[in-house]
Structure 1
Amino acid sequence: MKRFEHAGLILGSHFQPIYSLAHRRTVGVEALLRAEQNQLPLSPAEAFYAMVSPERRHGLDLAVSQAHVQHFAALEHSHPHWLFLNVDAASLSRPERAMALANTIREAGLQPGNVVLEVLEHVLEVDEALIEGVNLLKKAGFLIAIDDFGVGHSNLDRVCQLEPDLVKFDKDLLRSAVSQPRTRNLLSRLVRLMHEIGALVVEEGIETENDVLVALESGCDLVQGYYVARPSASPDADDIITKRLDSRWDELMVRDLLKRKITRRQIELARQAFVQSAISLMQGTPFDQAATPMLAMPDVIRCFLLDSEGRQIGRNLNSRHNTIASSLKFAPLADTTGAVWSRRAYFQHAIDQPGVLYMSEPYLSMTDTRSCVTLSMAIEIDEAMHVLCADVLAPRVHSSHG
């Protein structure tokens, strides 16, 4: 590998594969600086810290980018690859610096469309100069990634302002998701949010089998970490990486199949009881008696009745076996008599299709903050349209990583 020198530093490159779960192959590599001074290794932070002024840091940034590009060109790829380059925010904060970076990469022999420029999210101070620099690089054909999203004071507003092509989630976000079910759900929602913004998601820090499973479940696009492949001057080939990940993929498929079977059985029993309660109501049975079949189901939390405008009639009928000890904490929200649920999907779908049973997507119940789905159906009671509703605990399967 060719040696590069700058300001007394020897600049080397290691590359860590970034792998597409859908394509089952490496689609890019992140270039990681391996610097030496006086034959002693320096971390990237130490190397840049030695450059005391923004101008010197920018000069080092250009030299490092040039070294990485030329080292990357020496690698063999069977498919097109992106080169992910970490760049100092100072290199983007002025248009002339941004263009100097673009020219350095081009002159080193790489087209902009093959390069993803990574900027640390928590060091960004988004102002007009930075936005101008980023936009110049985008127009030149470079892709932009925000790195370490989720660490410190992460700000969605910064993501929206810069409109990155990719967002790399911080490894601590993954660590938290592996150990905490709520964070695991949040991780999936954050992935969907980034997709809505228009960015692909890279999950970093994949170091264990459980990390792989959580990443797969989250719906992220790309993964990176020691379990996938370690950084190296000659990174692992796809046949090695894919074999390593396939066993985790197979495990997830088996678990998802089990989850679907449990979900279908659980929901089908609730649907049967729901229809039985709806028929009783239409036949004139009082609500508290008609709801008995539903409330006897082990996963049903509560039943409630709405008028044709979505206003709740009377109180919730709560299941005794699904009362939670923390319910007192949410006492101010417990009485829903007269509450208006007309904006909820379970009301709108039911009222649009009377007699058709609807099941909502899982959501957080406002009454006790549990994850649930709501079954609903518009039925006629005493010649007036009503909507019968039942909250059911969202199906869960115990996994090996929680």
Structure 2
Amino acid sequence: MSLSRRIEGVGTSIILAMLEKEATLREQGIEIISLTAGEPDFPTPRHVVAAARVAMDKGDTRYPPLTGTAALKQAIIGKFISDYGLEFGLRSIIVSTGSKQAIYNAFMATLDQGDEVVIPKPYWTSYPDMVRVAAGVPIFVETHVSQRFQLDADLLNHAISPRTKWILLNSPGNPTGAIYNEETLRGVAEVLRRHQHVRILCDDIYEHIAFEQPVRNILQVAPDLGDRCLIVNGVSKAYAMTGWRLGYAAGPPELIQAMAVIQSQSTSGASTLSQAAAVAALTGPQEDRIAACEAYRRRRDLVASHLLRIHGLDFTPPDGAFYVLVDCREALPEIGLRKDEDPAFVARLFEAGVAVIPGTAFGAPGFIRLSFATADAQIERGLVRLATVVAGRSDSL
């Protein structure tokens, strides 16, 4: 079969592949402790589920508006005002089947062959592949543990070329959990003022999972960049609504319209029931969201307390999200692996009954990503197994 060039070198998500492997083994009766998924383990709040049920009962099951219902758009506009002090009109909002689709729509609507997107490393696994599918070229900028993964303005400036169309900002970040501080955002803004042709895509999906410091959007420190900034968000992480597949974006009306053209020829509008649920999530009680964030904070500290006792591992406690990116480069040679052989290390962990994601998937060879979006007991058992493998033992766990 002849396939298009756009999918050459593009694979399916490593994370999804790992989850499928875990499910297969569980079906065979084999226990696997999963520290992989970027998915809250809490239920969707009851009032959100109830809103979807009401919509269903009253027959709100027809084709949805292409860019979102008026009720949800108004809720999103209110959210941006209350959280960031940013005002958008209805024509500046699009609702999609997940924040991932919103990012994909933006790239498909703006990238031509060879156009570049600057992506800080480490990065979420899908970013570079979405760029490649849209015929673009991902350009990576290194960030470092020693700087808490803050983006260096000088490195960013050197990465920008005449072909650059976008820079992608993800804060709190996946897989690092890093939050860009105000100094970083001001430095990025100053660089972008020198490069007027570059748009900014802010992936804020983890904004409500922040611990010691609040999340700030670049438009709060540089409102003059608003005419070339797209903010992408959704309800999946903060409100435990991953299966509802509901994301949204806010940006310049002409960009939103172009994204709508792409969406019209792919999925069309997002589910009416999911949109009704999202209205309830954004405008209703926030106690569940706040309680979940507190649970993640406590779990982060639990993970840190265990990792500090494992020789050869290093990490930076995350500022937000629910991941820890662990530096294994000192430990790997002690168990017969090269410093960059994190996939082989992950395979050994899997044999010991604990699943994590190799750092290579995020552009960080020699690291692993642990998700603490799971119960305390699972976290503790998984980290005991991790410690055993790092120690070079093959105890039956």
> Given the two structures, how large is their TM-score scaled by the length of structure 1?
0.25
Structure ranking higher on relative contact order (CA contacts 8 Å, 6+ apart): 2
Higher relative strand content: 1
Bigger radius of gyration, 1 or 2?
A: 1
> Given the two structures, how large is their TM-score scaled by the length of structure 2?
0.26
